[in-house]
Amino acid sequence: MIIRKTPAELEKMRASGLLVHSILAELAGMVQEGVTTMDLEVAAEKMIRDAGARPAFKGYYVPAVGQRFGFVLCTSVNDEIVHGLPSTKVELRKGDIVSIDTGVELNGWFGDSATTVPVGEPEPKVKRLLDVTKESLERAIEQVRAGNRLFDICAAVENHVRANGFSIVKEYVGHGIGTQLHEEPQVPNYIDRRNDNPRLKEGMVFAIEPMVNAGAGDSKLKPDRWTAVAKDGSYSAHFEHCVAVTADGPWVLTRP
């Protein structure tokens, strides 16, 4: 069941979303050569705690892994797609890209967002990967309108990514969000006809998160059982926003 939120509840989600936005903006400014992904983790946890919020990821139990996630951030570098583990041993280098994904619970409501940040000026082909992934998210956001269907969101990502010669990662998807980090429905970045295609209604909120590989879309897990990487070693980009369906069109809750 897709849970629709009232205008008052959306305002509470907005507060969570803006907190996530401010944290990601601060972390993006920290990304430079020599910084470790654990440096980002420590800074993020302090910001979340200082704001009176709770980390959405830390302690989150994943049955497929049989463990609780141990960090407030997912930090995924270069060929890592999602769920990368912060580490004092992962030091960022010029030419790297790092996906920073985090979520918070504030006053009972969740916000979730991700960005991918280059270390220094990216090579043209890497910049294009980042640009196309961001553009695919913006195109998906434009489809978050009452009367449209879920597949309109999915197709917007898939069509733009494929038209530009990149690949969708199919194993990982977006999701509904509200008083739980993950709610119905799943939001794939492609049309998956095995899923339902509900009509969008006011009050629905979706965490839309394109994950795009420069090479093939196939992924595999690292031995840590958390970190998903591109099988062919190609770079991967990841961007995410929480978007509400309103009478006035899409409302991106995770940016000003």
The predicted structure's pLDDT at residue 45? 98
In a domain, 139, yes or no: yes
What is the pLDDT at residue 176?
98
Q: What is the pLDDT of residue 44?
A: 98
Is 57 a member of any domain? yes
Nearest-10 crossing angle of helices 7-30, 37-50: 140
Average pLDDT, whole number, for the chain? Answer: 98
Decide the pairing of beta strands 236-238 and 211-213: antiparallel
- Please report the pLDDT score of residue 160 as a whole number: 98
pLDDT of residue 85: 98
Q: Is residue 230 part of a domain?
A: yes
pLDDT for residue 99: 98
Mean pLDDT of 145-156: 98
- Reported confidence tier of residue 164, pLDDT bands at 50, 70, 90: very high
* Residue 24's pLDDT band (cuts 50, 70, 90): very high
Domain assignment present for 1: no
Which pLDDT score, from 0 to 100, does residue 165 have?
98
Q: What is the pLDDT of residues 73-106, one digit of tens each?
A: 999 999 999 999 999 999 999 999 999 999 999 9
Whether 90 is covered by a domain: the verdict is: yes
pLDDT (mean) for 113-131: 98
* Residue 243 in domain: yes
Could you tell me the pLDDT band of residue 229, with boundaries at 50, 70 and 90? Answer: very high
As a whole number, mean pLDDT of residues 193-219 equals 97
Max CA separation in the chain (angstroms): 48
CATH number at residue 174: 3.90.230.10
**Overall number of domains in the chain:** 1
Per-residue confidence (pLDDT) for residue 12, from 0 to 100: 98
From residue 74, how far is each of 41, 55, 77, 82 by CA, in Å?
9, 12, 10, 7
pLDDT of residue 133: 98
22 in any annotated domain: yes
Measured from the Cβ of residue 147, the count of other Cβ atoms closer than 10 Å reads 10
Tokens found for residue 201: 């209604």
Separation of alpha carbons 238 and 129, rounded Å: 10
**Residue 2, in any domain of the structure:** no
Stretch 132-138: mean pLDDT, rounded? 98
Q: Containing domain of residue 167, as a range?
A: 7-252
Mean of the pLDDT values across residues 24-34?
Answer: 98
